[in-house]
Structure 1
Amino acid sequence: MAACIDLSRIPHIPGRLHATNHPYQRYGPKGFMEIKALPNDDLYVRVDLPGVPDDAIRHRVDAVRQKVVFFSGEEVLGDGDNADDVREYSGTAGLGCDCCEITGVDAKMKDGVLRMILTRVKVKDHDSNKCTHFLPPNAGKSGRYDVNSPVMVEVEEHPYVVKGRKDTLATNRTSDGCFRFSVDMPGVCSDDVFVIPNQNEIKFYGENKEVYEHDESCRIFLGAISNRQCCSFGIPLLSHGIAWDAEFGVLKVRVSPPPRNNHN
């Protein structure tokens, strides 16, 4: 399985993050949200909401001003998940000007990513041909930092999580001695994930091979969990049972200790 991964395509980033919103992302579009104007003057909005099922997103346009879209969704509690980690999301996206109004929303949720096409119409004259005032105003800054700055780079928390964990990685050990960890990989489905254990660590790799037409490229995620974190005491990592699955943009890995020998 490991031979199928071309790691030469992944840029080496010594001591730095590719994107401050995700410590394991190594390539591709940055930020929890992206908003941009399309050639036909519609708006394209991408929002990462890992864990939310494809049919569980809600959205509506502000009926009064018709400037923003409200969106929300909840993660599903899975087997072995910590209930305190299960996330609820809520946020807004849209226009930051007074010259346009939203007239329609085409929304699609897939693999933990909400993508919306917002159609708009100009209701007032504006100096420029295309209005580029969007909400939230910092949507284009998430995930980015000054590579020349000496200041230590910190990983951002998810701004649209209103309940549950805000970190990319969640770990817990269950009462039966199993170790579980979950990693957000928005846009990645189960067919695009590799989990590669060795005696020292469990490596994980994900790449969304199906690139949406308005995304600039795929996204690649790469990371590892040390055997010190996930092994039962005194038992080699490769003696454990390791199972995984990816759903709704979240990779979940379960590390089970081998059964004890019963000499009774």
Structure 2
Amino acid sequence: MGEPNAKLLDLSRVPKVREGFYATNNQFQKEGPKGFIEVKVLENDKLYVRVHLPGLPDDAVRVRVDSVRQKVVFFSGETVINKMEGVREYSGTAGLGCDCCEITGVDDVKMKDGVLRMILSRVKVNKDAQHNNNNKCTLTVPPFTGQSGIRLEDHPYIVKGRKDALFFAPIGEGGCFFAVDLPGACGDDDVVEVSADEDTVGFKAEVKNVCENDESARTYLGSMKSPFGSSDQPLNTTHAIDWDVRFGVLMILVIPLGDIPTITNNNNDA
């Protein structure tokens, strides 16, 4: 969809503290593991890989070890067709940045709610190479880049489709559609709230489940100033708000009263 005639203001991109956004990969993430990807060495010397792939179905990820050098794992996949924003395609790599080890296999692959998690086993093939006093190799790729800041990053593994965390499109006369990346969130087990007031649509998502290799759960919070609604005609009295969470993406439909919401069965009482 093209840009709407009316302006959309993502209020989450207006920093309220000196530190700016919580996460440069997602302006809506307030708590939880930052960064589009994380590769870290576990106590058993295996590698834990976490990648944000919002919109990717749980059974749609493809993973394979580089058969030539056995240094990295390739991952890829496509999101389901969305008539509003089309398809996003992902492709990337993660693994070793050393000369002393090789990946021997992927012990565990879990793709759930827009987050890919893998455990990679490895073996040392060059015992003469030493990287620290414990002779424990910690050279992984890509380097961990999760951080806070005021400048948002494009998703590095999207080769087709939108690369930022927010999508907006107008619908007919007086309606609009939002899609917000919330990796890790689902509509069943987590607390997801969507509300509307005079001219703003807000949401909050608390991810309850914590992976054993992640440092904490996740919390998302955001608000978007809609092109519709005013103090005289508040949005929550003139429009219906329908929403759903699929594969780590929150979809919000805002349509004038009288039209029939078509996203989901999750209707909010705004």
How many residues are treated as equivalent by the alignment? Answer: 235
In the alignment, what sits opposite 1:134? 140
Gaps of 5+ in 1: 1-11, 146-152
Select the residue among 16, 29, 35 that pairs with 1:25: 29
Tell me the equivalent position of 1:114.
116
Cross-structure match for 1:201:
200
The C-alpha deviation readout for 1:202-249, integer Å capped at 9, x for no partner, is: 21111210001100001111010113x3549x8530121100000100
| Bigger mean CA deviation after superposition, 163-172 or 195-204 | 195-204
Q: Which of 37, 44, 58 is the aligned partner of 1:54? A: 58
**Percent sequence identity over matched residues?**
55
Distance in 1 (alpha carbons) for counterparts of 2:228 and 2:62: 36
- C-alpha spacing 1:197/1:211, structure 2 compared with 1 (3 Å): same
Work out whether residues 22 and 143 of structure 1, in 8 Å CA contact, stay in contact via their aligned partners in 2: no
Does 1:223 find its partner at 2:227?
A: no
Q: In structure 2, the residue corresponding to 1:190 is in which secondary structure?
A: coil
Q: Secondary structure, in 3 states, of the residue corresponding to 2:21?
A: coil
- Identify, as 1 or 2, the structure richer in helix: 1
Deviation at 1:198, TM superposition (A): 2.1
**Aligned-pair distance for 1:13?**
5.8
Verify: 1:168 aligned to 2:165, yes or no. yes
Question: 1:9-88 to 2 correspondence within 5 Å?
Answer: 14-15=17-18, 16-78=20-82, 80-83=83-86, 86-88=87-89
* AA at the equivalent of 1:237: L
Provide the C-alpha distance between the structure 2 equivalents of 1:57 and 1:117, rounded to a whole number of angstroms.
15
Cα pair 1:32 1:143 within 8 Å, conserved: no
Normalised by the length of structure 1, the TM-score is 0.84
Cα distance, 1:178 vs structure 2: 2.4
TM-score normalized with structure 2 length: 0.82
For 1:119 and 1:41, the matched residues in 2 are separated by: 8
Name 1:190's counterpart in structure 2.
187
- Aligned counterparts of 1:49 and 1:242: Cα–Cα separation in 2: 26
Asked if structure 2 preserves the Cα contact closer than 8 Å seen for 1:70 and 1:92, the reply is yes
Question: Deviations along 1:51-110, whole A, 9 cap, x unmatched?
Answer: 0000000010000111100000111123x4222xx3100000000111111111121100
CA distance in 2 between partners of 1:230 and 1:39 (Å) = 53
- Contact 2:48-2:119 within 8 A present in 1 as well: yes
Which structure 2 segments of 5+ residues have no match?
1-14, 260-270
Root-mean-square deviation (Å): 1.9
Q: 1:159 aligns with which of 139, 156, 170?
A: 156
